[in-house]
Amino acid sequence: MADLSLAPLLDRALIRLSGPDWRSFLQGLITQDVETLQAGELRYGALLTPQGRLRWDLFLYGEADGVAVEVPAGAREEILQTLTLYRLRAKVEIARDERPVLAAWGATPEGEGWCVDPRLATLGWRRVGAEPVGDGDYRAHRLNLGVADPVEDGIEPLYPIDANLDLLNGIDFRKGCFVGQETTSRMKRRGQIRNRIAPLAYEGAQIEPGVEVMAGDLRAGRVLSGKAGRSLALLRIDRAPGAELRAVDRTVALDVPLWLAAAFAMEKAQAGA
């Protein structure tokens, strides 16, 4: 049986929304449906630019009288300003929420308030308001599963599909309009998916972010971030799969996890059609 690992997510922070219009306000902004969000439920989504580029990813903790929105800690003030700008006449209260965020993985954590990570069950659980204890390496756990943090790993402007949000339950394509919805829906509907973040495995020290990944003489992508022996890279679907890849003077191997494999294979076939 796996051991329980706990880690406070110090790079994440909370914003709380409440008031009679909080659902309709968020519904028109973000990629995730909040009209059906229930108390005790956790969903994943994002706020995009009007052009459909990814600004910030979000976790939405449903509460009895509102929602706690988990955001990148370094961007919380900017996100507060952005939400306030969009508020206009909506009856919604937007405030900082100083409760901590905690992650758990491995064994099932004890206690109330834990929610399964909506991206992948293997990522574990999250909760707010827990005592910030534990020294587990959550970043290494996430990288091992091939899941990107769009802020930490995105060294260039990304579309949400580049960061696999469509495969990680971060986009509800059945909901109504949201900021950036037209571009996002068009990419998915027309099969115009040219790049995705995927893991690379290799020997030795971490490859520096920004290093180009080459398939022969052709550029196949760019390293984003990682750790020794494993990095995430934004890769061209028409070039990276099946090719011998190198990054600077090292051979690297595409290590596509199961949750990404089917989409990668289908989009590779479409790219070659």
228-270 residue pLDDT tens: 999 999 999 999 888 899 999 899 999 999 999 998 888 888 8
**19 with 132, same domain?**
yes
**Residue 10, domain CATH:** 3.30.1360.120
CA distance 39 to 41: 6
Tell whether 24 is covered by a domain.
yes
Q: CA 87, CA 93: separation in Å to the nearest integer? A: 9
- pLDDT, one tens digit per residue, over 78-121 is 999 999 999 988 999 999 999 999 999 999 999 999 999 999 99
Question: Last residue of a domain, which of 121, 136, 151?
Answer: 136
Give all strands of the β-sheet with 12-18 in edge-to-edge order.
Answer: 42-48, 54-63, 66-72, 12-18, 93-97
Domain span including residue 94: 5-136
Question: What's 239's domain CATH number?
Answer: 2.40.30.110
DSSP-assigned states of every residue in 101-137: EEEEESSPPPSS--EE-SS-GGG-EEEES--------
- 130 and 22 in one domain? yes
Indicate whether 155 belongs to any domain: no
CB 213 within 8 A of CB 223: yes
Q: Report yes or no on 256 lying in a domain.
A: yes
Examine residue 179 and state whether it is found in any structural domain, yes or no: no
At 271, is the pLDDT very low, low, confident or very high (cuts 50, 70, 90)?
confident
Residue 89 is assigned to a structural domain of this protein: yes
pLDDT of residue 109: 94
Number of domains within the chain: 2
pLDDT of residue 255: 95
pLDDT tens-digit profile of 148-202? 998 888 777 899 999 999 999 999 999 889 999 999 999 888 777 899 999 999 9
Query: Is-contact 131 166, C-beta < 8 A?
Result: no
pLDDT tens across 23-59, in order? 999 999 999 999 999 999 999 999 999 999 999 999 9
On the question of pLDDT at 272 being above 70, the answer is: no
185 within some domain: no
Tell me: do 96 and 205 sit in the same domain.
no
Please give the pLDDT value at position 55.
94
Distance CA 146, CA 230 (A): 9
pTM of the predicted model, to two decimals?
0.94
If pLDDT is split at 50, 70 and 90, which confidence band does 2 have? confident
Same domain, yes or no: 28 and 122: yes
